[in-house]
């Protein structure tokens, strides 16, 4: 019966009360997720003199805080660039090697598979703050990596890898083997079958893993703070932590909120653009 | 040993886990066991030779003053340039980074901008070197600031900026009520009773300080104890906090919380929350640092009390109170290269002229005594004489090596008593026990 | 492995005359597979071993040593360390330190159970809504990313801002709650902030799982007359289970190691929100590296135990041997597979 199931877009089969319910759900989620962020943005647009006001809209609107963030001496643009480099490289490398490993775990027969899975996840069980000092020792004395990108990229990779490997393994396993076998019957090698069939079909999973990895790396703070002591190498989160008031007692909340907005919004926009492009591209490949 | 040999050992060290490394490194670099400490402490000429580029590890300075000062130094010392390493805004993280740097023996940080309370810990752990006698002009500096920079008779850091607590009060309301700034806590409460009856004072509270559970509470707690004639530890670092005087001090504030003299929400106040409350006109009296002066006087609408307040010395139980000492010192890291340059740089930073510049641009209190009499400065900072009195009478927070444990214990005791969870007596008895334990750790 | 002389007793297909070839071919294939596995797996192992494996081993060792205590005659901290065996562990679990430890242990567990439960429920709900959303799908996706994308440093500050005595949370409630003081309200503040930030993590992963379910499965179910709730329990949940389990497992790991949020939002040394990670941090900050390492190791073991139990109880899918999993998913996905492969 199912063999001839028509490829109809689901949305037309939904009755309208359900659609209304969905709309309500959508609204609730949007409000829940955005309300605190809204407060952050509103605070960022207030003048520093009425920062503590609790009106729903800033009056008057002011770009003072954003100006303060962008002041040349803060090097915030440079820090954003550093964050892009670190998080971008981390994501690409993590996804690559995690895909390899996940493929082996999902599709190949070998001994010690469970042990490998266990070891990979075990590295996510040690308190991160307790890793900083030994890692710093390793990077300072042995590898001489202080003030380099790899000193931030490699640890970020190690934090993201367990999730990426497990995730991808789960996604790959979710697809039946018949798919590849069919492709191999058509003359594909195992590798080709994987690339042309499995990857496109798990694109939503792979892409979600990439987003999660990117954001994890983008938000990483402790390592970036410890491994780098040159202003020109600092990432955005570290730069934000260095905004202080004139005396050390006064906390420039407004500036930090503005910086938070500046760090978050482009990230979300970029993710959305990529999401459309990549998913569209990959799934298009799969259909054929 | 030659550089080659040094390198060999270094390479070997990486693979030894941390603690083993520290021992090995200590024996290599210090070249002595624990017994030869006295020689080490006294010896200075050989270690202050090198000249060349150095770094300054400091919390970020957004005023940009530091850049200007460094530019000035760098233009006159092209071969001994100073690079600024900006640490995170939080004092705890700054301390962590400096300790990590010391334990790695990396020499990345040459000059450290330290909080005054870290001096004993950094000195006792040999993370910083004693400064040669007669190099820093300590004679011109306020005495408590020099004392706070001294450990076991040796000066370990150069007092750079200072800080003392002030009692901010609403001049306008006190005048209306016909009251003078109070000298004692009881007077303060009496004045409040009068002031709060004024129609303008509707909804206001009497007093607040920094009472959230963090370093600021240790500062305020020390002032409660010292203000009542007690002490937290004696000169040798032995705890002396379980005394009738100390109890009277803590009890006054615990009671003040109970009867509403101090508003309930003050238990969440750090400096900034308190400043907001004062600027909104919620407080008659506020224990605060000098930084509030300029901000609360801002005419841009952020402060409702601009021009309506003044400062007085902190009150005490029976007479004038005692402030805790704040501020920052400059020290030289033990593993720093080019220590001669570092020493010159510290002298440059702490000289009178630079301290004055700093005060004018950042309103950070100087350690140089003469600046408190400077006419030009007095015009801009009328509170300077009060501040000088406050710093001159200030008691340092306990100068113990395990300061982190001591301050945590003080915060625990004070927070418990102020929030009414423990009685002041029990809190202090327990603190006495804990502080005794800290010393043996 | 490859030096075994005798051929395996039962080759894969002991059928007709050519017994040699399949056997040696199988052997070769096995060797090739081993090589391929080594190639595919080694980068991951290398990265993890270098930056995480080494520190963990260093910490294990360090937790058995103690730095010398006290000052010498000249007021210097004594240098050196000594082997103390399991002394730190014993000390941490009893007496005054023990009280603090068990309190932190309880807080850690409490935060983990409450936040992960709420995040899972909320995350699934978010994913379902996003998956079915007809309109504004892009908007929901964008907004769901926001909490997760705000750096923790900033988000902790944001919530501190919201939960101030004079902050907007109290303004909305119309009641002055002192959120950052010791007590249940502080725990509540941490839970609210954590759930807000990480529910999207679960949501995004579950959504990806949902997107892998072929539409035809639902069509079939509807033909069979299954109600929405039945569809969810009988079809959706089992199909997204592997992904959901991974999401929850990693949330568990993170929640058990929670540090920044209570530290920044509420503050250090506050008993009601102190977690095990914070204890480890605090000991290290006071240069007691031995006990700090012991706390870290204890937390590590606790996390490992929780993960183990979780996987044993619920996660058979993820850990199960390949064949079983393949069989399972095959039988589950039989219908869609049948429709898609020929196409």
- Asked if residue C304 is part of any domain, the answer here is yes
Question: For residue C41, what are the contacts with CB-CB under 8 A and spacing of at least 6?
Answer: A100, A101, A104, A116
| pLDDT score for B10 | 35
Name the residue of chain C whose CA is nearest to A110's CA.
C34
Please judge whether C180 and B212 are an interchain contact, meaning their C-beta atoms are less than 8 angstroms apart: yes
Asked if omega into A6 is within 30° of 0 (cis), the reply is no
User: Is pLDDT larger for residue C302 or for residue A241?
Assistant: C302
Between C147, C296, C317, which is nearest A126 by CB?
A: C296
Smallest CA–CA separation between A10 and chain B, in Å? 52
Please judge whether A130 and C292 are an interchain contact, meaning their C-beta atoms are less than 8 angstroms apart: yes
> C162 and C45 in one domain?
no
| pLDDT score for B35 | 34
> C132 and C51 in one domain?
no
CATH number at residue A82: 1.10.3720.10
B364 interfacial to chain A (CB closer than 8 Å): yes
Name the residue of chain A whose CA is nearest to C252's CA.
A125
B317-347 in b/e form (b: 16+ CB < 10 A) is beebbbbbbbbbbbbbbbbbbbbebbbbbbb
User: Is pLDDT larger for residue B139 or for residue C323?
Assistant: B139
- Asked if residue A42 is part of any domain, the answer here is no
Please judge whether B86 and A252 are an interchain contact, meaning their C-beta atoms are less than 8 angstroms apart: no
User: Which helix H or strand E contains B87, and what residues bound it?
Assistant: strand B82-87
Three-state secondary-structure class, residue B395: strand
Ordered per-residue pLDDT tens for chain B, 441 residues: 333 333 333 333 333 333 333 333 333 333 333 333 333 444 444 468 889 999 999 987 656 778 888 999 999 999 999 999 988 777 888 888 899 889 888 888 999 999 999 999 999 999 999 999 889 999 999 999 999 999 989 999 999 999 999 999 999 999 999 999 999 999 999 999 999 999 999 999 999 999 999 999 999 999 999 999 999 998 878 899 999 999 999 999 999 999 999 999 999 999 989 999 999 999 999 999 998 998 899 888 889 999 999 999 999 999 999 999 999 999 999 999 999 999 999 999 999 999 998 898 878 899 999 999 999 999 999 999 999 999 999 988 888 888 999 999 999 999 999 999 999 999 999 999 999 988 655
| Contacts across the A-C interface (CB distance below 8 Å) | 338
How many domains does chain A fold into?
1
CA angle A205, A211, A217 (to 5 degrees): 135
Of B39-48, B238-247, C51-60, C87-96, give the lowest mean pLDDT range.
B39-48
Please judge whether A225 and B14 are an interchain contact, meaning their C-beta atoms are less than 8 angstroms apart: no
| pLDDT score for B168 | 97
Q: Are B125 and B287 in contact (CB under 8 A)?
A: no
Q: What is the DSSP string of B13-68?
A: HHTS-HHHHHHHHHHHHT-S-GGGHHHHHH--GGGG---S-EEEEEE--TTSHHHH
Between B38, B124, B268, which is nearest C165 by CB?
A: B268
Beta bridge partners of residue B315, listed in sequence order: B320
A63 interfacial to chain C (CB closer than 8 Å): no
| pTM for the model | 0.85
Q: How far apart are CA A161 and CA A158, in angstroms?
A: 5
| pLDDT score for B105 | 85
Chain C residues close to A133, C-beta within 8 Å: 284
| pLDDT score for A160 | 94
User: Is pLDDT larger for residue A30 or for residue C228?
Assistant: A30
Chain A residues close to B103, C-beta within 8 Å: 133
C15-49 in b/e form (b: 16+ CB < 10 A) is eeeeeeebbeeebeeeeeebebbeebbebbbebbb
| pLDDT score for B300 | 83
Name the residue of chain C whose CA is nearest to A201's CA.
C212
Where are the domain boundaries for CATH 3.40.190.10 in chain B? 32-163+326-392, 164-324+399-440
User: Is pLDDT larger for residue B161 or for residue C16?
Assistant: B161
Smallest CA–CA separation between B45 and chain A, in Å? 28
Confidence band, pLDDT 50/70/90 cuts, at residue C110: very high
Smallest CA–CA separation between B430 and chain C, in Å? 12
Q: Are C247 and A243 in contact (CB under 8 A)?
A: no
Residues B299/B304/B309/B313 CA torsion (nearest 10 deg): -110
Cβ count near B36 (within 10 Å): 15
DSSP B369: G
Please judge whether C77 and B214 are an interchain contact, meaning their C-beta atoms are less than 8 angstroms apart: no
Please judge whether C76 and B268 are an interchain contact, meaning their C-beta atoms are less than 8 angstroms apart: no
Model confidence at C342: pLDDT above 70: no
Using CB atoms within 10 Å of the CB of residue B379, give its burial: 0 to 12 exposed, 13 to 18 middle, 19+ buried: exposed
> Residue A10 is encoded by which pair of tokens?
């689901």
Please judge whether B404 and C289 are an interchain contact, meaning their C-beta atoms are less than 8 angstroms apart: no
Name the residue of chain B whose CA is nearest to C61's CA.
B17
Q: Are C23 and C7 in contact (CB under 8 A)?
A: yes
- Asked if residue C11 is part of any domain, the answer here is no
- Asked if residue A12 is part of any domain, the answer here is no
Chain B residues close to C178, C-beta within 8 Å: 264-265, 267-268
B441 interfacial to chain C (CB closer than 8 Å): yes
> C52 and C187 in one domain?
no
- Asked if residue A109 is part of any domain, the answer here is yes
Q: What is the DSSP string of chain A?
A: -GGG-----GGGGS-HHHHHHHHHHHHHHHHHHHHHHHHHHHHHTS-GGGTT---SS-SS---HHHHHHH-GGGTHHHHHHHHHHHHHHHHHHHHHHHHHHHHHHHH---TTHHHHHHHHHHTTSS-HHHHHHHHHHIIIIIS--TTSSHHHHHHHHHHHHHHHHHHHHHHHHHS-HHHHHHHHHTT--HHHHIIIIIHHHTHHHHHHHHHHHHHHHHH--HHHHHH---GGG--HHHHHHT---SSSSS--HHHHHHHHHHHHHHHHHHHHHHHHHHHHHHHHHHH-
Between C57, C62, C79, which is nearest B34 by CB?
A: C79
pLDDT tens for residues C251-305? 999 999 999 899 989 988 999 999 999 999 999 888 888 999 999 999 999 999 9
B22-33 in b/e form (b: 16+ CB < 10 A) is bbebbeeebeee
| Segment 221-240 of chain A within 8 Å of chain C by CB | 221, 236-237, 240
Smallest CA–CA separation between C326 and chain A, in Å? 6
Pick the CATH number of B164-324+399-440 from 1.10.569.10, 3.90.1150.150, 3.40.190.10, 3.30.450.20: 3.40.190.10
CA angle A132, C153, C265 (to 5 degrees): 105
Using CA of residue B420, residue B423, residue B428, residue B434, what is the dihedral sign?
negative
| pLDDT score for C213 | 82
Smallest CA–CA separation between A148 and chain B, in Å? 15
Chain C residues close to B440, C-beta within 8 Å: 69-70
> C226 and C118 in one domain?
yes
How many domains does chain C fold into?
2
Q: How far apart are CA A6 and CA B79, in angstroms?
A: 79
B53 interfacial to chain A (CB closer than 8 Å): no
Please judge whether C158 and A36 are an interchain contact, meaning their C-beta atoms are less than 8 angstroms apart: yes
A129 interfacial to chain C (CB closer than 8 Å): yes
| pLDDT score for B176 | 95
User: Could you tell me which of A163, A173, A168 has the C-alpha nearest to residue A120?
Assistant: A163
Name the residue of chain C whose CA is nearest to B102's CA.
C287
Question: For residue A54, what are the contacts with CB-CB under 8 A and spacing of at least 6?
Answer: C166, C167, C168, C171
First to last CA, chain A: 23
Please judge whether A246 and B302 are an interchain contact, meaning their C-beta atoms are less than 8 angstroms apart: no
CATH 3.60.15.10 fits B32-163+326-392, yes or no: no
Q: Are B162 and B289 in contact (CB under 8 A)?
A: no
Chain C residues close to A263, C-beta within 8 Å: 150-151, 154
Residue C319 lies in domain: 91-331
Q: How far apart are CA B427 and CA B242, in angstroms?
A: 9
- Asked if residue C2 is part of any domain, the answer here is no
Pair type for strands C65-67 and C81-83: antiparallel
A167 interfacial to chain C (CB closer than 8 Å): yes
Q: Count how many Cα atoms sit within 13 Å of the Cα of residue B267 in the half-sphere of its side chain.
A: 27
> C236 and C159 in one domain?
yes
| Mean pLDDT, all residues of chain A | 83
Confidence band, pLDDT 50/70/90 cuts, at residue C318: low
Confidence band, pLDDT 50/70/90 cuts, at residue A157: very high
Residue of A69, A151, A247 best to disrupt the B interface, most CBs of B under 10 A: A247
Please judge whether A127 and C300 are an interchain contact, meaning their C-beta atoms are less than 8 angstroms apart: yes
B31 interfacial to chain C (CB closer than 8 Å): no
Smallest CA–CA separation between A208 and chain C, in Å? 7
- Asked if residue C13 is part of any domain, the answer here is no
Name the residue of chain B whose CA is nearest to A46's CA.
B302
A173 interfacial to chain C (CB closer than 8 Å): yes
- Asked if residue C340 is part of any domain, the answer here is no
Q: Where are the beta strands (DSSP E) in B98-237?
A: 111-115, 150-151, 154-155, 157-164, 166-170, 205-208
Of B194-203, C95-104, C332-341, give the lowest mean pLDDT range.
C332-341
Mean pLDDT, range A61-65, rounded to an integer: 89
DSSP B223: H
> C179 and C31 in one domain?
no
Confidence band, pLDDT 50/70/90 cuts, at residue C3: very low
> Residue B234 is encoded by which pair of tokens?
């004696």
> C57 and C103 in one domain?
no
Chain B residues close to A244, C-beta within 8 Å: 59-62, 89
Look at the block and give the residue holding tokens 């042990």. Answer: A115
Q: Are A259 and C136 in contact (CB under 8 A)?
A: no
> Residue B400 is encoded by which pair of tokens?
């113990």
| pLDDT score for B38 | 38
Residue of C63, C84, C165 best to disrupt the B interface, most CBs of B under 10 A: C165
Please judge whether C176 and B265 are an interchain contact, meaning their C-beta atoms are less than 8 angstroms apart: yes
Q: How far apart are CA B410 and CA B416, in angstroms?
A: 10
- Asked if residue A98 is part of any domain, the answer here is yes
Residue A186 lies in domain: 75-242
| Segment 71-90 of chain A within 8 Å of chain C by CB | none
Please judge whether B291 and A249 are an interchain contact, meaning their C-beta atoms are less than 8 angstroms apart: yes
Q: How far apart are CA B88 and CA B57, in angstroms?
A: 10
Question: For residue B59, what are the contacts with CB-CB under 8 A and spacing of at least 6?
Answer: A244, A248, B86, B87, B88, B89, B91, B94, B113
């Amino acid at each position: 019966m199912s063999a001839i199931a028509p490829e109809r877009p689901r949305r037309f089969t939904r009755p309208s009360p359900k659609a209304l319910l969905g709309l309500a759900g959508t609204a609730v989620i949007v409000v829940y997720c955005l309300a605190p962020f809204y407060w952050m943005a509103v605070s960022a647009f207030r003048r520093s003199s009425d920062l503590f006001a609790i009106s729903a809209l800033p009056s008057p609107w002011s770009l003072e805080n954003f100006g303060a963030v962008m002041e040349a001496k803060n090097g915030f643009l440079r820090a954003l660039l550093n964050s892009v480099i670190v998080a971008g490289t981390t994501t690409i490398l993590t996804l690559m090697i995690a895909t390899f490993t996940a493929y082996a775990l999902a599709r190949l027969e070998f001994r010690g598979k469970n042990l490998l899975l266990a070891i990979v996840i075990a590295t996510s069980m040690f308190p991160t703050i307790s890793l900083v000092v030994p890692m710093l020792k390793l990077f300072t004395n042995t590898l001489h990596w202080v003030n380099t990108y790899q000193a931030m990229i490699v640890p970020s990779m190690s934090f993201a890898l367990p999730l990426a490997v497990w995730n991808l393994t789960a996604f790959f396993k979710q697809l039946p083997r018949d798919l590849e076998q069919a492709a191999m019957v058509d003359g594909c090698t195992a590798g080709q079958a994987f690339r042309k069939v499995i990857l496109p079909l798990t694109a939503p999973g792979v892409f979600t893993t990439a987003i999660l990895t990117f954001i994890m790396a983008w938000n990483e703070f402790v390592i970036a703070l410890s491994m780098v002591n040159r202003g020109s190498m600092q990432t955005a989160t570290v730069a934000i932590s260095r905004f202080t008031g004139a005396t050390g007692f006064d906390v420039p909340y407004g500036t930090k909120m503005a910086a938070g907005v500046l760090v978050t919004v482009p990230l979300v926009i970029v993710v959305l653009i990529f999401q459309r492009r990549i998913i569209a591209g990959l799934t298009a490949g799969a259909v054929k | 040993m030659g550089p080659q040999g040094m390198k060999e050992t270094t390479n070997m060290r990486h693979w030894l886990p941390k603690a083993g490394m520290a021992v090995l490194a200590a024996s290599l670099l210090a070249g002595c066991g624990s017994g030869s400490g006295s020689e080490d402490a006294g010896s200075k000429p050989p270690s202050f030779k090198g000249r060349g580029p150095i770094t300054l590890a400091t919390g970020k300075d957004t005023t940009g003053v530091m850049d200007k000062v460094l530019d000035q130094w760098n233009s006159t010392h092209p071969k001994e340039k100073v690079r600024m390493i900006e640490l995170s805004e939080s004092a705890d993280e700054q301390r962590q980074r400096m300790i990590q740097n010391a334990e790695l023996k990396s020499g990345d940080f040459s000059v450290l901008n330290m909080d005054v309370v870290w001096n004993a810990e950094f000195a006792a752990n040999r993370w910083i070197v004693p400064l040669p006698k007669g190099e820093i002009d300590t004679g011109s500096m306020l005495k408590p600031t020099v004392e706070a920079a001294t450990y076991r008779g040796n000066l370990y850091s150069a007092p750079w900026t200072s800080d003392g607590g002030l009692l901010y009060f609403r001049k306008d309301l006190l005048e209306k009520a016909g009251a003078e700034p109070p000298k004692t806590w009881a007077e303060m409460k009496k004045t409040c009773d009068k002031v709060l009856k004024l129609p303008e004072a509707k909804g206001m509270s009497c007093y607040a300080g920094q009472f959230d559970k963090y370093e600021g509470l240790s500062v305020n707690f020390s002032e409660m104890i010292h203000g009542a004639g007690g002490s937290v530890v004696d000169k040798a670092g032995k705890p002396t906090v379980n005394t009738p005087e100390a109890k009277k001090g803590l009890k006054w504030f615990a009671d003040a919380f109970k009867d509403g003299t101090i508003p309930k929400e003050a238990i969440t106040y750090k400096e900034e929350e308190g400043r907001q409350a004062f600027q909104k006109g919620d407080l008659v009296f506020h224990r605060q640092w000098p930084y509030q002066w300029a901000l609360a006087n801002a005419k841009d609408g952020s402060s409702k009390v601009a021009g309506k307040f003044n400062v007085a010395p902190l009150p005490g139980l029976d007479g004038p109170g005692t402030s805790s000492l704040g501020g920052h010192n400059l020290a030289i890291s033990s593993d720093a290269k080019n220590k001669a340059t570092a020493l010159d740089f510290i002298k440059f930073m702490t000289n009178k002229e630079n301290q004055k510049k700093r005060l004018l641009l950042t309103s950070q209190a100087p350690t140089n005594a003469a600046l408190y009499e400077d006419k030009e400065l007095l015009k801009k900072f009328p509170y300077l004489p009060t501040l000088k009195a406050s710093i001159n009478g200030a008691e340092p927070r306990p100068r113990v090596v395990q300061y982190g444990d001591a301050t945590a214990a003080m915060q625990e005791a004070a927070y418990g008593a102020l929030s009414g969870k423990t009685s002041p007596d029990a809190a202090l008895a327990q603190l006495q026990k804990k502080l005794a334990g800290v010393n043996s750790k | 492995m490859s030096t075994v002389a005798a051929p395996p007793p039962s080759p894969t297909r002991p059928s007709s005359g050519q017994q040699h070839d399949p056997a040696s071919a199988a052997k070769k294939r096995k060797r090739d597979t081993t090589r391929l596995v080594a190639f595919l797996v080694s980068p991951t192992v290398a990265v993890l071993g270098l930056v995480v494996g080494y520190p963990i081993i260093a910490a294990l060792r360090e937790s058995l040593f103690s730095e010398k205590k006290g000052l010498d005659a000249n007021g210097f901290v004594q240098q050196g360390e000594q082997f103390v065996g399991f002394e730190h562990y014993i000390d941490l679990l009893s007496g005054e330190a023990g009280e603090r430890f068990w309190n932190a242990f309880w807080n850690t567990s409490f935060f983990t159970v409450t936040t992960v439960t709420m995040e899972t429920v909320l995350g699934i709900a978010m994913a379902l809504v996003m998956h079915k959303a007809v309109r504004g799908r892009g908007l929901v996706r964008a907004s769901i990313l926001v909490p997760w994308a705000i750096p923790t440093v900033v988000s902790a500050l944001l919530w501190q801002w919201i939960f101030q005595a004079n902050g907007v949370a109290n303004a909305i409630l119309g009641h002055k709650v002192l959120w950052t003081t010791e007590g249940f309200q502080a725990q509540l503040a941490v839970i609210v902030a954590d759930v807000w930030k990480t529910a999207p993590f679960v949501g995004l992963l579950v959504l990806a799982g949902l997107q892998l379910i072929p539409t035809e499965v639902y069509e079939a179910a509807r033909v069979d007359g299954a109600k929405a709730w039945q569809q969810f329990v009988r079809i959706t949940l089992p199909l997204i289970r592997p992904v959901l389990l991974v999401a929850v497992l990693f949330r568990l790991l993170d929640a058990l190691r929670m540090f920044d949020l209570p530290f920044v939002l509420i503050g250090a040394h506050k008993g009601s929100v102190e977690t095990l990670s914070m204890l480890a941090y605090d000991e290290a900050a006071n240069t007691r590296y031995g006990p700090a390492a012991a706390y870290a190791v204890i937390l590590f073991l606790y996390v490992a135990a929780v993960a183990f139990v979780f996987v044993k109880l619920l996660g058979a899918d993820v850990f199960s041997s390949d064949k079983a999993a393949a069989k399972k998913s095959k039988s589950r996905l039989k219908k869609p597979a049948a429709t898609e492969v020929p196409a």
